[in-house]
Amino acid sequence: MYCYLWYEKSNPNECKFGERWVKKGQDPLKEIWKRIDDSIGVRGDLIKDGSIELAAYWDVSQLAISECPNRHKPKGRVDDYIRGKIGFRKGTTGEIHTLNANEMAIKVNELLIRSGQPLPSVGLSQNQYDAAVNVLSAVKENKRTVVAELCARFGKTIWGGVLAREQEVEITIVASYVLTSFASFKKDLSSFEQFREFTLVDTDTNTDDDNWKSKIQSALDAQKQVIVFLSMCGGSKRQSKIDFLFNLKVSRLLLVDEADFGVHKLSQSEPLRDARKPDDIVILMTGTNGDKAASVWPVDHYLSVTYPELIIEKRITEGKLNPSANQEHGRA
Partner 1 sequence: MAVLKHFNVDPSRHNLTVDVKFYQMNLTSVVESARRAEKDLFVDDGVFLPSWSKFVAHPTKAKGFFINTLQAVFEGKGGNDGLNVEFQTSSPPKVSMMFLPGSTKNDDFPNIVSIAQQALKGYKIVPVYGEKMTNASSEQLVKNEIEIAEKNSQNVLIVSAGMAQRSFSIPQITHLFLAYDSGDCGATIQKMSRALTPDKQGKVGHIISLSFNPNRDDKFDSIILETAQNYNRNHRISNLKKSLQAVIKTVDIFRCQEEGAVKIEIDEYLETIIESKSLDRVIGKIADLNSFSPAEIKAIAEGNFSNLVKARAVVAQNGKTRLAPTTRNLSTSTKSASQKDIEAARKVLATIAENIDVIYFYSNKSLEASFEEMDKDGIAVQEDVKAEFGVSYDLIKAITIGHNGTPPVLNRDLLDLKFNR
Site for partner 1 in 166-225 (CB under 8 A): 166, 178, 180-181, 194
Q: How far is the CB of 9 from partner 1 (least distance, A)?
A: 7
328 binds partner 1 (CB under 8 A): yes
314 binds partner 1 (CB under 8 A): yes
Nearer to partner 1, 42 or 152 (CB): 152
Nearer to partner 1, 92 or 121 (CB): 121
Strand 171-176 relative to strand 145-150, pairing: unpaired
Q: What SS3 class is residue 70?
A: helix
Q: How far is the CB of 210 from partner 1 (least distance, A)?
A: 31
Residue type, position 172, single letter: T
Q: How far is the CB of 59 from partner 1 (least distance, A)?
A: 17
Strand 145-150 relative to strand 301-305, pairing: parallel
Nearer to partner 1, 192 or 212 (CB): 192
* In contact, 281 and 252? CB cutoff 8 Å: yes
Q: How far is the CB of 91 from partner 1 (least distance, A)?
A: 25
311 binds partner 1 (CB under 8 A): yes
Surface-to-core class of residue 22, CB atoms within 10 Å of its CB (0-12 exposed, 13-18 middle, 19+ buried) = buried
Q: How many CB atoms lie within 10 A of CB 82?
A: 24
> What DSSP string runs through 280-306?
-EEEEEESS-HHHHHTTS---EEEEE-
Phi first, then psi: what are they for 272, rounded to 5°?
Answer: -70, -45
* In contact, 230 and 148? CB cutoff 8 Å: no
Phi first, then psi: what are they for 266, rounded to 5°?
Answer: -60, -40
Question: Of 12-51, which residues contact partner 1 (CB under 8 A)?
Answer: 49-51
Cα separation, 118 vs 10, whole angstroms: 32
Nearer to partner 1, 72 or 165 (CB): 165
Cα separation, 103 vs 106, whole angstroms: 5
Nearer to partner 1, 78 or 281 (CB): 281
Tell me, by CB under 8 A, how many residues bind partner 1.
76
118 binds partner 1 (CB under 8 A): no
| Residue of 21, 88, 129, 244 that binds partner 1 (CB under 8 A) | 129
Q: How far is the CB of 71 from partner 1 (least distance, A)?
A: 32
304 binds partner 1 (CB under 8 A): yes
Nearer to partner 1, 1 or 138 (CB): 138
* In contact, 145 and 284? CB cutoff 8 Å: yes
| Residue of 44, 116, 234, 298 that binds partner 1 (CB under 8 A) | 298
99 binds partner 1 (CB under 8 A): no
Element (H, E) at 185: helix 180-191
| Residue of 52, 112, 132, 281 that binds partner 1 (CB under 8 A) | 132
| Residue of 109, 117, 125, 190 that binds partner 1 (CB under 8 A) | 125
Residue type, position 210, single letter: D
Q: How many CB atoms lie within 10 A of CB 239?
A: 12
* In contact, 76 and 157? CB cutoff 8 Å: no
Question: Of 234-293, which residues contact partner 1 (CB under 8 A)?
Answer: 258, 260-261, 265-267, 270, 273-274, 287-292
| Residue of 61, 62, 100, 126 that binds partner 1 (CB under 8 A) | 126
| R_g of the chain, CA atoms, integer Å | 22
Nearer to partner 1, 61 or 295 (CB): 295
Question: Of 49-68, which residues contact partner 1 (CB under 8 A)?
Answer: 49-51
Q: Interacting stretch for partner 1, rule CB under 8 A, among 15-23, 60-68, 70-78, 319-327? A: 319-327
124 binds partner 1 (CB under 8 A): yes
